[in-house]
């Protein structure tokens, strides 16, 4: 059985968890936080998520794991058949990660510590997000799913990405970034209603207190003595 390593408060972890649940692939969860030696044994960068396959192979990087799951468990597909359409799905995922999630992620330390990010950082983040918004407005179709008529990995990916965007941008930038993408909020409401999304959200909330304790311990350890 596949083991999914990481923690339920992680949006990247939840991408893989959502795909596993959607494809009805049996898996077990191994709770491990970033920064631990245990994680480094399965994830070379020490990042969450990682999986251990049935064959005992460790894999990390959410998009790599998503591809592995699709290749290994093609039933209940999450990518279209044609190479062009598959690339279009991956293009949405990549742009959402690089120009939507990653800039917002830079604000997370300030969100967690309840402080205001420096203005120069906020400006850098705003500039990347502005271009990300233009790109996603061009790419996302919402007809009814993000890449068109079929539900794909891009729906799962962007839904999880949005957890970080919606937590960071309004509070740190005073900017409702999701409202800038036509159809995003309506689609998000639809996404939230599935049983899988609701289970993932319940697990995320349940893991939050332990995760925040872990973060506070890490922040205290990093303070100069
Ligand atoms: N590109 C990675 C990003 C994963 C990532 O940043 N995960 C966070 C948790 S949400 C993490 O492990 N952070 C700790 C670190 O960056 O060292 C992926 O797609 O899996």
Q: What is the pLDDT of residues 1-19, one digit of tens each?
A: 999 999 999 999 999 999 9
Distance between Cα 104 and ligand 1 center (Å) = 13
Q: 77: phi > 0 → left, psi -120 to 50 → alpha, else beta; which?
A: beta
**Do 89 and 47 reside in the same domain of the chain?**
no
Which atom in ligand 1 lies closest to the alpha carbon of residue 49? Answer: 20
Distance between Cα 48 and ligand 1 center (Å) = 5
For residue 208, being part of any structural domain is answered with: no
Q: Residue 127 pLDDT > 80, yes or no?
A: yes
Domain boundary among 23, 50, 77: 77
Closest CA to 64 of 50, 54, 77: 50
Instruction: pLDDT band for 218, please (50, 70, 90 cuts).
Output: confident
In sequence order, the 6+-apart residues with CB closer than 8 A to the CB of 123 are: none
**Do 21 and 98 reside in the same domain of the chain?**
no
Ligand 1 pocket mutation, candidates 48, 62, 67, 207, criterion most atoms within 8 A of CB: 48
Q: Determine which residue's CA is closest to atom 13 belonging to ligand 1.
A: 47
Distance CA 58, CA 52 (A): 4
Domain boundary among 61, 77, 93: 77
pLDDT at 66: 97
Q: Residue 76 pLDDT > 80, yes or no?
A: yes
Domain boundary among 54, 77, 100: 77
For residue 169, being part of any structural domain is answered with: yes
pLDDT at 160: 97
Q: What is the pLDDT of residues 178-188, one digit of tens each?
A: 999 999 999 99
The two tokens of residue 183 are 């159809």
**Do 183 and 138 reside in the same domain of the chain?**
yes
For residue 136, being part of any structural domain is answered with: yes
| Number of domains forming the structure of the chain | 2
pLDDT at 220: 82
For residue 224, being part of any structural domain is answered with: no
Question: What is the average pLDDT across 103-126?
Answer: 96
**Do 91 and 185 reside in the same domain of the chain?**
yes
Q: State the CATH number of the domain containing residue 34.
A: 3.40.30.10
- Print the domain residue range for 26: 2-77
Percent of residues, the chain, with pLDDT higher than 90? 94
Closest CA to 192 of 223, 218, 159, 214: 159
DSSP 8-state symbol, 175 = -
Residues with CB under 6 A from ligand 1: 10-12, 34, 46-49, 61-63
**Do 11 and 96 reside in the same domain of the chain?**
no
For residue 35, being part of any structural domain is answered with: yes
Ligand 1 pocket mutation, candidates 34, 108, 157, criterion most atoms within 8 A of CB: 34
For 55, half-sphere exposure in the C-beta direction (CA atoms, 13 angstrom radius) is: 4
Q: What is the pLDDT of residues 129-151, one digit of tens each?
A: 999 999 999 999 999 999 999 99
Mean pLDDT, the chain, integer? 96
Distance CA 145, CA 163 (A): 18
Question: What is the average pLDDT across 150-172?
Answer: 97
Q: In what order do the strands lie in the sheet with 58-60?
A: 27-31, 2-6, 50-52, 58-60
**Do 137 and 169 reside in the same domain of the chain?**
yes
Q: State the CATH number of the domain containing residue 177.
A: 1.20.1050.10
For residue 116, being part of any structural domain is answered with: yes
Question: What is the average pLDDT across 68-75?
Answer: 97
Q: How buried is residue 150: exposed, middle or buried, by Cβ count under 10 Å (0-12/13-18/19+)? A: middle
Under 8 Å between Cβ of 199 and 156 = no
């Amino acid at each position: 059985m596949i083991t999914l390593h990481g923690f339920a408060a992680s949006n990247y972890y939840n991408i893989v968890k959502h795909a596993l649940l959607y494809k009805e692939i049996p898996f077990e969860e191994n709770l491990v936080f970033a920064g631990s030696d245990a994680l480094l044994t399965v994830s070379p960068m020490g990042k969450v998520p990682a999986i251990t396959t049935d064959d005992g192979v460790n894999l990390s990087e959410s998009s790599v794991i998503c591809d592995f799951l699709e290749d290994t468990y093609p039933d209940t597909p999450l990518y279209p058949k044609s190479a062009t359409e598959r690339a279009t799905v991956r293009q949405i995922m990549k742009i959402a990660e690089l120009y939507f999630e990653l800039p917002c992620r830079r604000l997370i330390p300030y969100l967690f510590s309840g402080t205001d990010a420096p203005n120069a950082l906020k400006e850098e983040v705003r500039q990347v997000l502005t271009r990300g918004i233009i790109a996603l407005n061009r790419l996302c179709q919402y007809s009814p799913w993000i890449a068109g008529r079929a539900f794909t990995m891009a729906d799962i990916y962007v839904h999880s990405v949005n957890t970080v965007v919606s937590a960071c941008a309004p509070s740190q930038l005073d900017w409702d970034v999701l409202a800038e993408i036509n159809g995003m909020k309506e689609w998000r409401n639809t996404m939230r209603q599935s049983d899988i999304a609701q289970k993932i959200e319940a697990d995320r909330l349940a893991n939050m207190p332990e995760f925040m304790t872990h973060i506070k311990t890490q922040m205290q350890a990093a303070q100069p003595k």
